[in-house]
Structure 1
Amino acid sequence: MLPVITLSVRQVAFSASLLAEGSVTLGPCNTFTTLIFKRVVANIGNAYNPNTGIFTAPVRGAYHFEFYVAVIGGQTAAVLVKNKERIFAVAEYQSPGFGSSAQGATLALEAGDVVFVQLWVDNKIFDNQSHHTTFSGHLLFTM
């Protein structure tokens, strides 16, 4: 008789904005730059690391992610990355005012896979106390 393996269902969800306080425009940078979303409003399951900006899947499952980016007077572009693979990108050009854009994806992840958002080369990003630039994700179901 084969042993029964029980996978405990874990509740996993997070939501964070780029800044905890203040206002900033980051970039442009000459390399892809991982964004570290510091203001964490939810981190159920502690799978998001606010020191690195990286989400690490605790269990094998289907996860949904969304990210929003903002810019004032210029161009922003960012990309959702799974491990080393660029999944979906978003871009916005706004001159001279404020602009924002959003993107999302549902991903099949193995335990230990990482997901994060990178600022695209030669672009900039804006956030302030209104928290325009955000990154969120949650486990839909285990597999």
Structure 2
Amino acid sequence: MLQKRNDINKTIGDIRTEVKQSQYDHLKLSTTVSSLEVFRMNVTRNKCDLSKRVAFTAGVLSDSTSWNSGTLVYNKVFNNVGGGYNPTNGIFTAPVEGEYVFYVSIQSYNANNIYVDIVLNGTSKVRAMANSYNTNDRWETGTNLVTLRLQDGDMVWVRHHSGTGYHTHSDIPITTFSGFLI
């Protein structure tokens, strides 16, 4: 009889522990569901407000053996949310104020060296370089990334610094320029 009572008390204790764990798990699940609902609402609101979404990626589709000055015009646009990038002149114009990230990738042409700058309103901010130090390194890639605070109407582009030419592929560009609002 005493053994039965001990077994019943143990079973009741186990059930109480399971109920407490279940209540705790339910609370955690409710909190997670609430967090996901807030996240879903934020994502939905941001998707609907296209004026707050800005992103672009563009590339060049043909090599240049002689490019040695000016703005690099990326004429193949893959994405241009917010319409800030102009494939005619290679310049991104900020449609809204905010913090932006810009990335450049440049491929050297056949053992040439090439240096390019990401430029904000005429002032160089960062440089990417693709150096071919010897003739065995025929195709080198230079990259760089910068975060910039832009005002509505500020302009960002990629400008030649030194060197000659660039390489790419006609179907999937290697030499690219991207930016987005964070």
Q: Decide which structure has the larger Cα Rg and report it.
A: 2
Please identify runs of 4+ aligned residues in structure 1 that moved more than 4 A: none
CA shift digits 1:31-58 (9 cap, x unpaired): x410100110000011000001000001
The code of the aligned residue for 2:73 comes to: I
Q: CA offset at residue 121 of structure 1?
A: 3.4
Matched residue SS, 2:131: strand
Flag the structure with higher strand content.
1
**Residues 1:76 and 1:122: Cα distance change in structure 2 (over 3 Å):** closer
Q: CA offset at residue 26 of structure 1?
A: 4.1
Structure 1, gaps ≥5 residues long: 1-7
Does residue 1:79 correspond to 2:117, yes or no? Answer: yes
Identity %: 30
Q: CA offset at residue 9 of structure 1?
A: 4.7
Structure 2, gaps ≥5 residues long: 1-49
Flag the structure with higher helix content.
2
Whose RCO is larger (CA < 8 A, sep 6+)? 1
**Corresponding residue to 1:91 among 129, 139, 159:** 129
Q: Aligned Cα RMSD in Å?
A: 1.6
TM-score scaled to structure 2, two decimals?
A: 0.66
TM-score scaled to structure 1, two decimals?
A: 0.83
**Residues 1:93 and 1:61: Cα distance change in structure 2 (over 3 Å):** same
For the 8 Å contact 2:114–2:162, the answer to whether it is kept is no
| Distance across 1 between alignment mates of 2:153 and 2:99 | 13
For the 8 Å contact 1:11–1:44, the answer to whether it is kept is yes
Q: How do residues 1-143 of structure 1 correspond to structure 2 at under 5 angstroms?
A: 9-19=51-61, 23-29=62-68, 32-71=69-108, 72-94=110-132, 95-96=134-135, 97-129=138-170, 130-140=172-182
The code of the aligned residue for 2:104 comes to: F
